[in-house]
Structure 1
């Protein structure tokens, strides 16, 4: 089973949030797997909050 394709709008928002948190360089160098669970959770929480706002 392959990876699920991510919505480009969601990916753009995740990248924007990562930049706001100062994590963009870390992601660019090591991919999303380079983040700690706390860092990923912070991005996920902010993403959920923004998506709920609409």
Structure 2
């Protein structure tokens, strides 16, 4: 496992984010879900929220 990536393990985990990961975080912030993911992790998102993020991510990646 790459130790430079933020796996959500430990409070001081530093992240080197890929462009796609940065885009995911941007979308989460736009939807008002970023704090929820930072506080509780990705498992806290509902299926509908994950689908919404994935759909927006897919449409933005197609435009690029």
**TM-score scaled by structure 1?**
0.85
The alignment of Structure 1 onto Structure 2 pairs a total of residues equal to: 50
Measured in 2, the distance between the counterparts of 1:23 and 1:37 equals 13
Q: Kindly indicate whether structure 1 or structure 2 has the higher relative contact order, using CA contacts under 8 Å at least 6 residues apart.
A: 1
Q: 1:20 aligns with which of 30, 34, 44?
A: 30
Q: CA RMSD in A?
A: 1.5
Q: Tell me the TM-score normalized by structure 2.
A: 0.72
Stretches of structure 1 that go unaligned for 5 or more consecutive residues are: none
Runs of 4+ in structure 1 over 6 Å off: none
